[in-house]
Amino acid sequence: MASQQSVEPFDLVIFGGTGDLAVRKLLPALFHRFLDGQIPPNSRIVGVAREGLDDTGYRAQLREALVQICDAAKLDEFLQQVFYRALDARKDAGWDDFAALIKAEPEHVRVFYLSTSPELFVDLCGRLGQHGLNLGQSRVVLEKPIGHDLASANRINDAVGKVFSESQTFRIDHYLGKETVQNLLVLRFGNALFEPLWNSAHIDHVQISVAETVGVGHRAGYYEHAGALRDMVQNHMLQLLCMVAMEPPSSLAPDAVRDEKLKVLHSLKAIDAGNAAQLTVRGQYRAGVAEGDHVLGYQEELGGSKTGTETFVALKAEIANWRWAGVPFYLRTGKRMPDRVSEIVVTFKPVPHSIFDAGSGTLAQNRLVLRLQPDEGVKLWLTIKHPGPGGLRLRHVPLDMSFAEAFGVQQPDAYERLLLDVVRGNPTLFMRRDEVEAAWRWAGPILAAWAASGEAPRSYAAGSWGPSASVALIERDGRTWHDDNE
């Protein structure tokens, strides 16, 4: 039986309260925590946006959205703890009343979740500071992307830092809240088996793939200015890479873990104009068939405008340190792929010598596959003898542990854990300022190299695994992208 940590009464304010993230992720996550008794009865959740709604109108909007994805029982009870305030970050109206509402519960932990465009972070923090809402047990949560590049990230972090201290600032990367990512920590550091092999002497290469079937759809306005490198690689995928590659932290204390991740980011080899053409591939989907339907290409979704924004990236990263020298980390992410699958695949080196006849079959390399979604779980691919009489035949089969089957529980959404970590004041799974900066320092030269090359992203059909150059990127090294069905 899972034991639950208690939660102090809190007020959680979501700026961007009518937005996609709030409605699709944050409020369902809070509702699930409510069902598990983790939202103390006098806690308040306050949605803030510019739309002129009141509490009743907001609750009705949320009800309509939440019944589609959550169990409706108890929803109304939950919604009684939800409120709404119409505010504009750039206008004074309403801020005094809002401050009075929050200050009415001086003992509550206060969480200000900025789920808005990063341009508003500075104004919003300014307002919160001006009204003294940064005092006491206050925390601010910054959604990614934090800026557009290193300079804009610094501007945002400086401005936020004038109002909230670093220990009050929670830069969220929801991939760190995913069960399998936490399990990676436990697998690596809770078992004696893997760590002795976790280095360049035994690991051949690592693949990190995040493939989505969805297109950009109604998020095109945001996405067009971001692209896959800023949207997925600079944050989620680098964070996964850090979790795979970091040295054992001395404890799970927030800075112990974050110090180790930072060292990995600092050790990434530069990709710039000199090598980007060999080490990176970017693509953009055109019309095609995805999940059985004909779907538009990215440019058509944008109303036919010509754009060089990438919806797919594959790249080969390397970490220049003793543990990882010479071990490629292949990263791949894209929209409109044939399957939704996110996984980390660690491929071990082949055995040094085979004692088996050529007729026994090939000796495949061991693989450890950590599946983030769907069907979270861990598979360890081993070579065994095919059962039965006759000659000795080798088979490559997985030791397969699906978390849902093993534990019979639905895995909680990443935001459920992370939101409560903020309330509890535990920043272990959040990015420290220097991590965000180091990630931009690595990503910036790649973006600059692409811009300088003047080349358009390679086109790929929606519903395919990206441009063929992505296959060539890994096959040049005599390797292939992992396919679980092989």
Q: Give the footprint of ligand BG6 on this chain (CB under 6 A).
A: 174, 212, 231, 342
Provide the minimum distance between the beta carbon of 419 and ligand BG6 in the complex, in angstroms, as a whole number: 14
Give the nearer residue to ligand BG6 in terms of CB position, either 212 or 343. 212
Give the nearer residue to ligand BG6 in terms of CB position, either 319 or 439. 439
Provide the minimum distance between the beta carbon of 239 and ligand BG6 in the complex, in angstroms, as a whole number: 11
Give the nearer residue to ligand BG6 in terms of CB position, either 231 or 435. 231
* 383-402: burial string, b at 16+ Cβ within 10 Å, e else: beeeeeeeeeebebeeeeee
Give the nearer residue to ligand BG6 in terms of CB position, either 11 or 212. 212
- Which DSSP string do the residues of 266-327 spell out, in sequence order? HHBPP--TTTHHHHEEEEEEESEEETTEEE--HHHHTTS------SEEEEEE-B-STTTTT-
* Residues 177 and 464: beta-carbon distance below 8 Å: no
C-alpha 427/C-alpha 257 separation (Å) is 10
- Which DSSP string do the residues of 187-205 spell out, in sequence order? HHHH-TTTGGG-STTTEEE
Closest CA to 255 of 435, 436, 424: 435
Residue 454: exposure state from Cβ atoms within 10 A (0-12, 13-18, ≥19): exposed
Note if the bond before 145 is cis, omega within 30 degrees.
yes
Provide the minimum distance between the beta carbon of 97 and ligand BG6 in the complex, in angstroms, as a whole number: 33
Q: How far is CA 224 from the centre of its chain?
A: 19
Provide the minimum distance between the beta carbon of 297 and ligand BG6 in the complex, in angstroms, as a whole number: 17
C-alpha 410/C-alpha 400 separation (Å) is 18
| Residues marked as catalytic | 236
Provide the minimum distance between the beta carbon of 124 and ligand BG6 in the complex, in angstroms, as a whole number: 20
Give the nearer residue to ligand BG6 in terms of CB position, either 168 or 209. 209
* Residues 372 and 342: beta-carbon distance below 8 Å: yes
